[in-house]
Amino acid sequence: MPQKTEQESSKALDSSFESLKELQLLYLFSSTLLSTMQLNRLLHLILSSLVYEDNALFCRSLLFLYNKKTNALQGMLAVCRTNADGLHLVSKEPDNPLSGHWELDELEMKKQWDSEFCAKVRNIRVDLNDDCVLIDELIKERRLCHFNTSELPANSGCDFLVDLGINAFAVVPLLTRKNLIGLIIVDNPFKNQPFTSKQLQLLQLFANQSGMAIENTRLYKNLEEAHEELQTTRERLIHGAHLAAIGEMAASISHELKTPLITIGGFAARLGKMIPEGDRQRHYLDTIINESHRLEQLLGDILAFSRKPTICYQCCDLKAILEECIDDYEATLIGHKIAATTDFKNSDWTVLGDSNQLKQICINLLVNAQEAMPGGGELHLALNEIEEGGCRKIAVTIADTGGGITEDLMDRIFTPFFTTKRHGTGLGLAIVNRIVQNHGGTLTVRNLENGAEFSIVLPKLSSVSCGR
């Protein structure tokens, strides 16, 4: 067998060494992709590894992601060699070349994101329908290409590359099995050397792995979101079941208590008639009568809350309902030094609903507002038409100057039987919430500067459908 010359052996050794370095690079790249499930970090890592000084590949890397709906490419991120030096190896066995992965700190990612070049790239949107013929072709062919902008035909639609100061560049699509995800563009503006075939091969291999990794992180994110949604639905169901159990128990107790209570109140009233006014015993009886009346009302509320709701649908003018409530409650408001103002524009405020129940909503909220302002204050009621999810809706807002609701109570005030008042049942807002939901609406609350504002949004009904 012929002996290899010293020169040949050294060449073979060099070539094996080069291959080993490439393998190591590919290994590091793929373990980096496997180590991160966060899309943003992944994109930074992909672009940084392409321009990292030690890897001796390219000087700048740009990423565009594809939007299928608009058939356009959107500039997402760009990294230059100068701001990729934060890429560092994380390894449990530093002596083993085939262990570990690259990492980037948050601060380094921010530095890349904030760079002027990256901001320029993020402002670019390439419409594939008519903007860039060249990129369109390349995507159809689904392969890596390299060009020189000065050699491109005038109508190639690649002006954005010239604007970025890109001359000789390579571009590679990011693909999953069937779909285009985006593309990566790399260039070497500071070196006047053509790309080597090794560099282009590595770029292609990087791109193949990156496409799949990006798709995986997106799927993972979807899975996480679905999991979170499932968790909240589960919690809501458990909460609902608890409330149903509380409601059922409260209803049966209320039912049992109501009859004897009516009897007590009735007999006390009869006795009261036999005792002359001003008598001390009459005062005791009046207390029994008043308290049993209050308890009867409370039990009535509990039963109303627990019963299956029935809505007697009719066309309701919300403005008329609000005005009626304010009239009914005017004396109480004046007595408590509360000035009420309204902002009801002349418009159509018709909703489909049960006018008695809608009135109850308004009264419960007025009572709460009044109770929140024991020393007087201001009450403001307004009606506004809004658009939500493509539908016309009516928003009723009731705002007071009673100091608002503390953050820790915000989540609890709609829970049945939650109250901060000595004689409250904690059913007022729960009843409001239930009625609003049964009417296909939403109830929200927020704090204003001096108080709370409750908003009810109900679907608007056009007067035509009401036969007016």
Ligand X SMILES: Nc1ncnc2c1ncn2[C@@H]1O[C@H](COP(=O)(O)OP(=O)(O)OP(=O)(O)O)[C@@H](O)[C@H]1O
157 binds, among ligand X, Mg ion, none (CB under 5 to 8 A by kind): none
Q: Which of 350, 355, 368, 397 binds ligand X (CB under 6 A)?
A: 368
Cβ of residue 33: shortest distance to ligand X, in angstroms? 51
Q: Which of 62, 104, 302, 372 binds ligand X (CB under 6 A)?
A: 372
Is the distance from CB of 399 to CB of 379 less than 8 angstroms? yes
Give the residue with the Cβ less far from Mg ion, 75 or 428: 428
Is the distance from CB of 391 to CB of 459 less than 8 angstroms? yes
CA 176 from centre of chain:
28
- Residue 157 interacts with ligand X (CB under 6 A): yes or no: no
Q: Which residues contact 277 (CB under 8 A, 6 or more apart)?
A: none
Segment near Mg ion (CB under 5 A); pick from 48-56, 134-142, 277-285, 363-371: 363-371
Cβ of residue 444: shortest distance to ligand X, in angstroms? 13
Cβ of residue 328: shortest distance to Mg ion, in angstroms? 16
Give the residue with the Cβ less far from ligand X, 113 or 418: 418
- Which of positions 78-107 make contact with ligand X (CB under 6 A)? none
Is the distance from CB of 40 to CB of 163 less than 8 angstroms? no
What count of other Cβ atoms lies within 10 Å of the Cβ of residue 30?
Answer: 16
255 binds, among Mg ion, ligand X, none (CB under 5 to 8 A by kind): none
Give the residue with the Cβ less far from ligand X, 284 or 418: 418
Cβ of residue 386: shortest distance to ligand X, in angstroms? 22
Q: Running DSSP on this structure, what letter comes out for residue 457? A: E
Cβ of residue 421: shortest distance to Mg ion, in angstroms? 7
| Of residues 417, 423, 308, 433, the one with CA closest to residue 364 | 433
Cβ of residue 468: shortest distance to ligand X, in angstroms? 34
Is the distance from CB of 106 to CB of 60 less than 8 angstroms? no
> In what helix (H) or strand (E) does residue 213 lie, and over which residues does it extend?
helix 197-274
Dist CA 207 CA 360 (whole Å): 63
57 binds, among ligand X, Mg ion, none (CB under 5 to 8 A by kind): none
392 binds, among ligand X, Mg ion, none (CB under 5 to 8 A by kind): none
Dist CA 187 CA 182 (whole Å): 17
Residue in the structure block whose two tokens are 């979170």 = 228
- Residue 428 interacts with Mg ion (CB under 5 A): yes or no: yes
Dist CA 253 CA 8 (whole Å): 98
Give the residue with the Cβ less far from ligand X, 118 or 340: 340
Cβ of residue 363: shortest distance to Mg ion, in angstroms? 10
Is the distance from CB of 146 to CB of 195 less than 8 angstroms? yes
Give the residue with the Cβ less far from ligand X, 45 or 373: 373
55 binds, among ligand X, Mg ion, none (CB under 5 to 8 A by kind): none
Cβ of residue 116: shortest distance to Mg ion, in angstroms? 58
Residue at shortest CB range from Mg ion? 428
3-state class (DSSP) for residue 307:
coil
421 binds, among ligand X, Mg ion, none (CB under 5 to 8 A by kind): ligand X
| Of residues 177, 188, 301, the one with CA closest to residue 247 | 301
Count of residues that bind ligand X according to CB under 6 A: 19
- Which of positions 393-452 make contact with ligand X (CB under 6 A)? 400, 402, 405, 413, 418-421, 424-430, 452
Dist CA 43 CA 79 (whole Å): 10
Dist CA 10 CA 447 (whole Å): 78
**Structural tokens at position 431:** 């009843």
- Which of positions 365-384 make contact with Mg ion (CB under 5 A)? 368
- Residue 187 interacts with ligand X (CB under 6 A): yes or no: no
Is the distance from CB of 330 to CB of 341 less than 8 angstroms? no
| Of residues 243, 144, 141, 138, the one with CA closest to residue 197 | 144
Segment near ligand X (CB under 6 A); pick from 83-91, 108-116, 210-218, 364-372: 364-372
Q: Where do contacts with ligand X occur on this chain (CB under 6 A)?
A: 368-369, 372, 400, 402, 405, 413, 418-421, 424-430, 452
Which residues make up the interface to Mg ion (CB under 5 A)?
Answer: 368, 428
